[in-house]
Amino acid sequence: MRMEYVEAVLDVVALIPAGAAVAYGDVAEILGSGGARQVGSVMSQHGSAVPWWRVLKANGDAPPGHEREALALYILEETPLLGSHAEYLRTGEGRWRVDLTAARWAPNDGEFDRIDAVAERLERSVRKLSAPDDEMTV
């Protein structure tokens, strides 16, 4: 994974406000580069310093392997939840997920500008590295 991509992903995630959340695929779409799996890979390897719990699966399931910790944070941030999260916290039983329909981050103007800046920076760094030897030529 290119460093610029990793940084772009982390920069975007850092912008997500408490109580809100987005899917892996949303981040990829915002950046206009890569896919959900790439974003997941970045979060897996470099996500510890940013609000990683605010990036999750498209159906609202928390990041695999961190359900417990993520749930505590969702409750703390009052992120909209569905299912038996209270029971899950007590007994470890029960299924739950983030109500992504209600929680999905809707960037305001200021946030949008910063997202845009990150996406543009990434886009430029990608172009810069593609000029010389181009495959597919011939």
Partner DNA sequence: ATTCTGACTTGCT
Partner DNA sequence: AAGCAAGCCAGAA
Q: Which residues bind DNA (CB under 7 A)?
A: 1-2, 23-26, 33-41, 43-44, 47-48, 52, 55, 57-59, 63-66, 95
Among candidates 22, 19, 93, 108, which has minimal Cα distance to 60? 22
Nearer to DNA, 40 or 107 (CB): 40
- Least Å from the CB of residue 109 to DNA: 25
Q: Token digits for 89? A: 């916290």
- Least Å from the CB of residue 18 to DNA: 16
Coil, strand or helix at 10? helix
Among candidates 17, 22, 26, 31, which has minimal Cα distance to 101? 22
Tell me if 114 sits within 8 A of 17, measured CB to CB. Answer: no
List, in sequence order, the alpha helices (H) in 16-54.
Answer: 24-31, 36-46
- Least Å from the CB of residue 27 to DNA: 8
Nearer to DNA, 11 or 26 (CB): 26
DSSP label of 65: T
Nearer to DNA, 33 or 115 (CB): 33
Nearer to DNA, 37 or 68 (CB): 37
